[in-house]
Amino acid sequence: MIRLSPLNQRRWRNFKRNRRAVWALIIFGVLFGMSLFAEVIANDKPIMVSYRGELRMPIVSFYSEQDFGGDFPTEAGYKDIEVECLIVTGGLVDCFDEPGALIAAVDAGQTLVGDFYKGWVLWPVIPYSYNTIVDVPGVAPSPPSSDNWLGTDDTKRDVVARVIYGFRLSVIFALIVTVVSSVVGIVAGAVQGYFGGWTDLLFQRFIEIWTGMPSLYVIIIVFAILGRSFWLLVFLTVLFGWPALVGVVRAEFLRARNLEYVRAAKALGVRDRTIMFRHMLPNAMVATVTMLPFLVTGAIATLASLDFLGFGLPSSAPSLGEMTLQAKQNLQAPWLGFTAFFTFAIMLSLLVFIFEGVRDAFDPRKTFIADGKVDKMQTTFDTVEAENR
Amino acid sequence: MGAYILRRLLLVIPTLIGIMIINFALIQFVPGGPIEQIIAQLEGQGDVFEGISGGGSEIGGANDGNGYVGGQGLPPEFIAELEREFGFDKPPLERFLNMMWNYVRLDFGESWFRKISVFGLVMEKMPVSITLGLWSTLIAYMVSIPLGIKKAVRDGTPFDTWTSGAIIVGYAIPGFLFAILLIVVFAGGSYWRLFPLRGLTSANFEDLSLIGKVLDYLWHITLPVLASTISAFATLTLLTKNSFLDEIKKQYVITAKAKGLSEKAVLYGHVFRNAMLIVISGFPALFIGVFFGGSLIIETLFSLDGLGRLGFEAAVARDYPVVFGTLFAFSLIGLVVGILTDLTYVFIDPRIDFEARG
């Protein structure tokens, strides 16, 4: 267990006092924790198979059909009734003739003649992965059923499985983008505000030029040249996302650079870097943390919009934005639209509530208030507005 | 003050030139220009656009780095003629200087693919942008200011907490998701088919009576305006609330209450005009937002043809005059509005002094 400093203990207490944030954190933690194990929850391969007394885990290892007594050296199609029969009977040759009858017999507890060895298959809760083509009759976006709880999308992939994988992907994307662009933005804002003068003037112009670039266009171009990938998209989002924090950090540093403690540190001959990051940054952190809820949700929204426009992740990725596009293209399938909306709504609300709690916990104006009711949004919008000025 | 304004205005020039240089350079190095687009069409490969809107395939053809030599199947004289027509026979620097000189004289040229001036093209898209901008701004102000005042008066109550939660969630969820929900529920046909799916007016708009026209217009814009308004409440409501909270604590409010004025008279007669100053200072930006607001995705979802779509389609089709013309004009407007906003702050609250800071 890490020992927290008294200040951090106080922050933690403050965070816990915000019940909405605590509940959001718990719910989000459970959802995200579960989605981290998406492969075990939603997969088109069984978690575990017992074949002739030997335990095998198809979700981690490769087994050919031959390994189960079949004909092909390719990966076993666990969904095929023949393969299922081979597993539960221990590889009886009769499985190729009448698999259904044999499975029924095994289920009924009969012992079969020949080289019989009873086996079993343990499936994940959702027996589809995000890219599994579901074998159901009917036209492509098929409605919710007992097999596909939220129906399928227009290429017959299970919506629940896609939501689970897409949720994980969106959250991981948002967290990476937020952390990296915060670090870059803080350093840039700190340098700008601390040195002021010409540095500040030139840097401001640079940021004006930078934000004047049509980012969507650049993303399209770069993808056309380099191909799409998750990390390239992370890089590009950071590339256009970091100026978001520069304004507030710069303002804090501009304000603090003439304060006594900074002058004292300078007079003592402390290095610029130490003054900036050890002495001034903790004071600028509040402004930074204030922007956090919107950095996180902004990153998710960016990913969703790009996917929606068809310029986001590779088309094979489990993308919630793509589901939104499908919802628009298949208005006869309302389950797609509802799923997309509520997945985003729940994910973004939880994140906003959590990071609001974090921000309040870090706010020195509130850290030392015992029980005062303070508006939670106030600081955020003070800063957002200051930024807009 | 004059010196400050002058300095700010002078700084606009290098910034604007910087924006143009970066974007011009960017486009020089990128494969797939308007000539490839035409060649692709002529060789029957369909247009480059299709590959993009189809989602996924590569943009454009090969480019060996000096001029356009992408179309091996076409006679070289024809390609040379195309290059001349688009001005690609001149060196990039000359093209850039020509372009900038034209822009300085506010001559934005003509679209390459439609025989219409860039200015005319922007004007053509204005109805959609004004519709979205004007109505969503109006609704946002009509809801946010009373709500903000109410929240300030009832600060700390459950009402305050829950409305804060609701508007913050509305702010966090991107507008196009609300749009999808609205379309599925109210226009998709699975539940209700109350509102139309596309366009700003019906096909028979010309034949309708005046009242019919107004109703038809309102009927078409309800969903898109709603979708683009939801996220707009948060900033304004909380801004109003905070500035009211600040004002309510001041001495003159106590005085006004002490002399027996009603709560309403105090709030609207005294506090309102002071608290609203900060809101008013956002007006220059607001004004521009009303005219040039546009969201690519909302416009796409509701099949509206506005500025968001214009920029996107011009970029994808490589219609450079439109890309650079709008980039220049909107960057210039944006920079000037930034200055105007700062000046409004000073005008409203003379204690703010931008010259003294830093």
Three-state SS at A64:
strand
Whether B331 sits inside 8 A of A348 (CB atoms) is: no
How many C-beta atoms surround the C-beta of residue A374 within 10 A?
Answer: 14
Asked whether the beta carbons of A358 and A289 are under 8 A apart, the reply is: yes
Whether A337 sits inside 8 A of B282 (CB atoms) is: no
Residue-wise burial string across A141-167, b where 16 or more C-beta atoms lie within 10 A, e elsewhere: bbeeeeebbbbbbbebbbbbbbbbbbb
Which residue on chain B is closest to A339 by alpha carbon?
Answer: B181
Could you list the pLDDT tens digit for every one of the 389 residues in chain A?
A: 567 788 788 888 888 888 888 999 999 999 999 999 888 888 888 888 888 777 888 888 888 877 877 778 888 878 778 888 888 777 777 777 777 777 777 777 777 766 777 777 888 888 888 888 887 777 778 888 877 888 888 888 888 888 999 999 999 999 999 999 999 999 999 999 888 888 888 888 888 888 877 787 788 778 877 888 889 999 999 999 898 888 888 888 888 888 899 899 999 999 988 998 888 888 778 777 878 888 888 899 889 988 888 888 887 788 888 888 888 888 888 888 889 999 999 999 999 889 888 888 877 665 444 433 344 334 444 444 444 43
The CA distance from A117 to A39, in Å, is 29
B162 contacts on A by Cβ (under 8 Å): none
What would the 3-class secondary structure string for A149-167 be? CCCECCCCEEHHHHHHHHH
How many C-beta atoms surround the C-beta of residue B162 within 10 A?
Answer: 10
- pTM for the whole structure: 0.81
Asked whether the beta carbons of A353 and A21 are under 8 A apart, the reply is: yes
Distances (CA, A) of A356 to A25, A294, B39: 11, 10, 54
Report the Cα B345 to chain-centroid distance in Å: 23
A349 contacts on B by Cβ (under 8 Å): 169, 172-173
Asked whether the beta carbons of A375 and B236 are under 8 A apart, the reply is: no
Paired tokens of B346: 């000073």
Q: Using one digit for the tens of pLDDT, what is the confidence trace for A325-378?
A: 888 888 888 888 889 999 999 999 999 889 888 888 877 665 444 433 344 334
How many C-beta atoms surround the C-beta of residue B240 within 10 A?
Answer: 25
Q: Which residues of chain B have pLDDT under 70?
A: 29-34, 37, 40-41, 43-74, 189, 293-294, 351-358
Q: How much is the pLDDT for B50?
A: 42
Whether A220 sits inside 8 A of B164 (CB atoms) is: no
Paired tokens of A256: 């603090």
Paired tokens of B58: 């590569």
The CA distance from B33 to A367, in Å, is 57
Q: How much is the pLDDT for A371?
A: 38
The CA distance from A82 to A103, in Å, is 9
A389 contacts on B by Cβ (under 8 Å): 341-342, 345
The CA distance from A283 to A364, in Å, is 9
The CA distance from A315 to A338, in Å, is 21
Q: Chain B neighbours among A 111-130 (CB < 8 Å)? A: none
Return the percentage of chain A with pLDDT > 70, whole number.
92
Whether B31 sits inside 8 A of A225 (CB atoms) is: yes
Q: How much is the pLDDT for B353?
A: 62
Asked whether the beta carbons of B229 and B171 are under 8 A apart, the reply is: no
Q: How much is the pLDDT for A378?
A: 42
Residue by residue, DSSP assigns B227-296 as: HHHGGGHHHHHHHHHHHHHHHHTSHHHHHHHHTT--HHIIIIIIIHHHHTHHHHTTHHHHHHHHHH---H
Asked whether the beta carbons of B295 and B176 are under 8 A apart, the reply is: yes
Could you give the angle at the alpha carbon of A229 between the alpha carbons of A339 and A61, nearest 5°? 80
The amino acid that residue A337 corresponds to is: G
Could you give the angle at the alpha carbon of B282 between the alpha carbons of A188 and A285, nearest 5°? 30
Smallest CA–CA distance, residue B358 to chain A, in Å, is 6
Asked whether the beta carbons of A357 and A22 are under 8 A apart, the reply is: yes
Q: How much is the pLDDT for A200?
A: 87
A378 contacts on B by Cβ (under 8 Å): 238, 241-242, 245
Q: Does A349 touch chain B if contact means CB atoms closer than 8 Å?
A: yes
Q: How much is the pLDDT for A293?
A: 83
B30 contacts on A by Cβ (under 8 Å): 221, 224-225
Whether A337 sits inside 8 A of B60 (CB atoms) is: no
Optimal mutation site among A381, A382, A384, A388, interface B, most CBs of chain B within 10 A:
A381
Calculate Rg over the CA atoms of chain A: 28
The CA distance from B289 to B334, in Å, is 10
Whether B155 sits inside 8 A of A375 (CB atoms) is: yes
Q: Does A382 touch chain B if contact means CB atoms closer than 8 Å?
A: yes
Optimal mutation site among A18, A207, A217, A292, interface B, most CBs of chain B within 10 A:
A217
Paired tokens of B8: 């700010």
Question: What are residue A54's DSSP bridge partners?
Answer: A51
DSSP letter for A196, please.
-
Which helix (H) or strand (E) segment holds residue A51: the answer is: strand A48-51
Smallest CA–CA distance, residue B211 to chain A, in Å, is 31
Q: Does A62 touch chain B if contact means CB atoms closer than 8 Å?
A: no
Whether B327 sits inside 8 A of A214 (CB atoms) is: yes
Name the strands in the sheet holding A54-56, side by side, starting at the edge strand that comes first in the sequence.
A54-56, A48-51, A120-122
The amino acid that residue B217 corresponds to is: Y
With tokens 């909405």, the residue in question is A20
Q: Chain B neighbours among A 180-219 (CB < 8 Å)? A: 196-197, 200-201, 205-206, 208-209, 212-214, 216-218
